[in-house]
């Protein structure tokens, strides 16, 4: 077995990001690129969790392709009445459906995973932290869910340190600092699932429009993160960013799996 250390870092990206990351993973597999270490936030934390737990890209494709929004999004009825509450409602989507899905698919034993770090932020001060450790989370599923709990959309998750955590994308949407120094790795793959939305799409609701605007800001953050890594490790860094038109954070588009695969193959063919 090769002693090469390969780090795969996956960005956030919402439900459509799950599709894109699955396509990227299929593309990596096409070139027999297997990670030994993983990092991710939000959608990237979920896919990296499956990857680190031993799933393969084809099994992931079948799993994601079979999901609809109704399988993972449980809207809270009280959200419509949020303005009647002085402190508002902590998120308008329950995370129970996603927790049940992950509990069904993934092991609860920390030792069943390859080295993985999931990035979430302290909901009080915005500081980022790796949650994938038994000192932070009661189990691996909790660690992953904390990383994908978009602030204001899903409830913040209280971890073992007594602090509530939310989606790590607001701090590092491409969590490149989790495994520093990156020079320890032979290859680092930066996988970005931030799609290109239409800024003039007036069919989106208020929440979707807000999330889209946040996503645009995160793209700048990702650009800076990529530049920093390239400066640190040069050609040991490979960027995979299929810039695809996407339907928005809270929607699947399973055609993106094939599109992301095709773009990844093009990118890796040039390496």
Whether this model's pTM surpasses 0.85: yes
- Residue 21 CB contacts under 8 Å (≥ 6 apart), including other chains: 10, 13, 43, 44, 47, 191, 193, 260
pLDDT in tens, 137-193: 999 999 999 999 988 788 899 999 999 999 998 889 999 999 999 999 999 999 999
Higher-pLDDT residue of 260 and 3 is 260
What is the distance between the alpha carbons of residues 141 and 116, in angstroms, rounded to a whole number? 12
What is the distance between the alpha carbons of residues 5 and 115, in angstroms, rounded to a whole number? 11
Higher-pLDDT residue of 42 and 152 is 42
């Amino acid at each position: 077995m090769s002693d090469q250390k390969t780090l795969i870092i996956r960005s956030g990206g919402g439900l459509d990001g799950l599709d894109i990351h699955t396509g990227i993973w299929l593309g990596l597999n096409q070139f027999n690129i297997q990670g030994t270490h993983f990092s991710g936030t939000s959608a990237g934390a979920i896919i990296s969790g499956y990857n680190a737990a031993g799933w393969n890209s084809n099994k992931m494709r079948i799993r994601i392709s079979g999901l609809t929004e109704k399988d993972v999004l449980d809207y809270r009825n009280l959200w419509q009445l949020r303005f009647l509450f002085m402190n508002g409602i902590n998120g308008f989507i329950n995370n129970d459906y996603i927790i049940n899905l992950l509990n069904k698919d993934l092991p609860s034993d920390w030792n069943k995973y390859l080295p993985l770090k999931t990035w979430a932020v302290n909901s009080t001060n915005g500081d980022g932290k790796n949650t994938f450790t038994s000192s932070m989370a009661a189990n691996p599923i909790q660690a992953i869910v904390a990383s994908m709990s978009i602030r204001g959309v899903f409830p913040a998750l209280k971890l073992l340190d007594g602090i509530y955590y939310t989606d790590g994308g607001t701090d590092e949407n491409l969590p490149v600092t989790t495994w520093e120094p990156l020079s320890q790795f032979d290859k680092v793959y930066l996988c970005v699932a931030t799609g290109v939305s239409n800024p003039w799409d007036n069919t989106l609701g208020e929440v979707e429009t807000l999330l889209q605007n946040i996503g645009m800001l995160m793209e700048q953050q990702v650009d800076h993160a990529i530049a920093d890594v390239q400066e640190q490790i040069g050609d040991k860094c490979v960027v995979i960013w299929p810039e695809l038109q996407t339907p928005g954070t809270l929607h699947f588009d399973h055609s993106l799996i094939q599109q992301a695969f095709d773009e990844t193959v093009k990118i890796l063919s040039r390496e």
